[in-house]
Amino acid sequence: MAEKLLMRALAGETLPTPPAWMMRQAGRYLPEYKATRAKAGDFLSLCYNPDLAAEVTLQPIRRFGFDAAILFADILLIPDALGADLWFVTGEGPRLSTITGQGDFDALKPADAVHDHLSPVYETLKILSRELPSDVALIGFAGAPWTVATYMIAGRGTPDQAPAHALKDTNRPLFEALLERITEATIEYLSAQIDAGAEVVKLFDSWAGSLKGDDFRRYALEPAKRIIAELKARHPGVPVIAFPREAGDGYIGFARETGADCVALDNSVSAEWAVKNVQVDGCVQGNLAPGHMVTGGQPLIDEVRRIKAAFAGGPHIFNLGHGITPDADPENVTLMLETLRG
């Protein structure tokens, strides 16, 4: 493990060339992914088929030589395990049964339902821990409680998370009970991922930026702190990456307060700002704008060089500021890595 660049960066080492991987690196921009998904039949069937999920996780490693592989799964597998109805509409995204009243919440399963229901995910990790090259780190992940709750309350992704904010403001006990259930399930899920072979885990709070003031602390920072503390107690030495996307000034001190080993940054903050305000506390990850994977060219080269140079004084993992998009050109991924690695 000492030879894995990702693990060295997460341990606080400053490396001449940072390790690199991409959020959603196994995905719709790759023709080999599309072929495997077609074989699976639909998205959820792909997530729950260990052989095929492992295959799509390995595809970008074979093609690009990333320093880390991230488990192919979805943040909404936890609601599925808790008993919510979950399906995906082609071209539109996920749909779920909604949690809007006490009866909906009472129908959910207990947190430990993740153990049996998500066993295919753990099998995928076991396959990957055998199949990955010895220098490639294996990352597990889950959605953070607030972000998962926004989908469970609205029944779909929303531009401003308004249904979740409304429930929070009108029925705080129900809202907090739901967050508590998700938090407990997330601890069990990530712990089981580590048992199955994940060497690092990441907590995706994709909608953290819509929480303001005290709400950010209570519903983004505090759940992350609790999850990380419990994982560290169960699995000493396993690093955790936290991604409170679009947190702005909320990034400041987030690693210090939550115990995260690394904070992933979206591209709404500059690398130069993050060096002064976030990297002072340890490893940072990011934060190339995903649009460069579509447009490529000299602007991509210039941005990769700028970000690498800005973060060169401390521990850094090179990544995008959010997931790579389906319209990205794989050739631009190659160009990004070639530029980064000189």
Residue 95 CB-density burial (10 A; 0-12 exposed, 13-18 middle, 19+ buried): middle
Identified catalytic residue from 37, 63, 218, 306: 37
Who's near 311: CB < 8 A, 6+ residues apart? Answer: 18, 271, 274, 275, 279, 284
Q: Where are the alpha helices (DSSP H) in 85-221?
A: 102-106, 114-117, 119-131, 145-154, 162-170, 172-196, 214-216
Going by their DSSP bridges, the two strands 316-320 and 240-244 should be labelled as unpaired
Identified catalytic residue from 29, 48, 74, 251: 74
Q: Is 74 a catalytic residue?
A: yes
Identified catalytic residue from 151, 189, 219, 251: 151
pLDDT beyond 60 at 35: yes
pLDDT digits (tens, 9 = 90+) for 66-116: 999 999 999 999 999 999 999 999 888 999 999 999 999 999 999 999 999
Identified catalytic residue from 24, 181, 226, 245: 24
> What pLDDT score does 2 carry?
53
* Mean residue pLDDT across the chain: 97
Q: Is 234 a catalytic residue?
A: no
Who's near 338: CB < 8 A, 6+ residues apart? Answer: none
pLDDT digits (tens, 9 = 90+) for 45-72: 999 999 999 999 999 999 999 999 999 9
Which helix (H) or strand (E) element contains residue 46? helix 43-47
Can you tell me whether residue 154 is helix, strand or coil? helix
On whether the CB atoms of residues 307 and 271 are closer than 8 A, the answer is: yes
pLDDT digits (tens, 9 = 90+) for 199-218: 999 999 999 999 999 999 99
CATH architecture of 18-255: Alpha-Beta Barrel (3.20)
- DSSP code at position 219: I
Q: Is 172 a catalytic residue?
A: no
Each domain of the chain, given as residue ranges in start order, spans 18-255
